[in-house]
Amino acid sequence: MARPKKTDAPDTAQAIELTAGAIERLTCRTDTKAQAFLRDTKAPGLRVRVSNTGAKSFVFEAKLDRQTIRRTIGDVRAWSLDAARTEANRLRVMLDSGTDPRELERQQQADKAAKAQQEAAAVVTVGDIWPRYLAEGKPKRKDAWKPRYRADIEAMAAPGGVQKVRGQGLTRQGPLYPLLALALVDVTEDALQIWFERETVACRHQATRALMMFRGFLRWCAARPEYRKLINRDAGRAPAILENLPSNTKRTDCLEAAQLPGWWQAVEQLSNRTAGVYLRALLLTGARREELAGLTWANVDFQWRKLTIADKVDATRTIPLTPYLAQLLATLPRVNEFVFASAGKQGRIADTRNAHQKALQSAGIGTLTIHGLRRSFSLLGESAGAPAGAIAQVMGHRPSATAEGYRPRSVDALRPYLETIEAHILEQAGAPYFEATP
């Protein structure tokens, strides 16, 4: 048999000691197969693969548990022969120890991806996910936040610098705004303590309310797998913060029987008649301030004497429209859809604290919040002899919060109780009926 010339292409059926020249002459016949391999005798497992297009690369091939393992080392133009042999020997040692290089590479890639994800997550800020929180957040056992709370939480995180709607100058940034720049991983007890102490200087009450809102944000993050490992849910409960919180004493302010005539007269004489009727309506119904503020004319049934108002527990609740309250509402002008209309942006009454404070000063009464009128209704209802369940239903309390076994009453069943309460309040206030036609 004739000896092959040094210029001939190597025979791929035979293993040889690879050289640069042999690799250069290696070819693959396009009419027989797509690729061919030339084995190296110096580094067992090392091969040069050549495709029918002429592309050449170093590969490693061996068996592990009777399965063929083939790994591409690299292009022959990028790898020297010595470097390829070194890599082939490394892979051989790995296989001899029972390690599959493919699995090791997959694990390394997974670790690299996890590290990259961790590094990316480390720079996610509160501000990055705050819009999602506003879109998806909601209170416990509720479908969505109330509009007033939603507006408050947005204002708490506002950057400020906007022209004030009332008065002159620009608005201040909200107390939560500085926290938006913090990375989630940096929201620690120490960071929140420093923030809280700084905000407390400006307004302790606002700082406390902002903290409670931010705790809700942390709870929301903790409920989502993608953020759970990045935050400390209890960061807002640092001992140093809790020590500086205002006492959580339950308010008990309400109108005393002796104060009722003076309060009624002062409210009746307010220059803002809508505010005056609104405040008296709160006392006569025990409704929450936002429930009554959003009352529309469409939900006032003068014919069948019923009111349908927004409800904190359910979507709405319907209560009787008592005689005196019907007369009061009939005196209000129908400016727009709202009963307690206003020229403000919302088109309805928004905040009557200033008007109420004027009435309190005129009557010589100390502290009495708007919510205190709701408590006053409850106490006056008891003194009028109305059942606790009827009072609770009119006020929109949860069934579990009632003093007696809860038996929902129809509007007609509630009517005599609410009319009795109204008559009792009017008697205590010294307020006579007046004629008006709805």
Task: Parse the chain into domains and list their residue ranges.
Answer: 20-118, 126-244, 260-429
Q: How confident is the model at residue 332 (pLDDT cuts 50, 70, 90)?
A: very high
Calpha distance 66→44 (Å, rounded): 17
Share of the chain above pLDDT 90, in %: 38
pLDDT of residue 435: 43
Given a cut of 50, whether residue 144 has pLDDT beyond it is yes
Tell me the CATH architecture of domain 260-429. Answer: Orthogonal Bundle (1.10)
Given a cut of 70, whether residue 120 has pLDDT beyond it is no
Given a cut of 60, whether residue 405 has pLDDT beyond it is no
Calpha distance 311→62 (Å, rounded): 74
For the domain made up of 20-118, the CATH class stated in words is alpha beta
Calpha distance 363→370 (Å, rounded): 15
pLDDT of residue 326: 95
Shortest CA distance to 42 belongs to which of 85, 94, 80?
Answer: 85
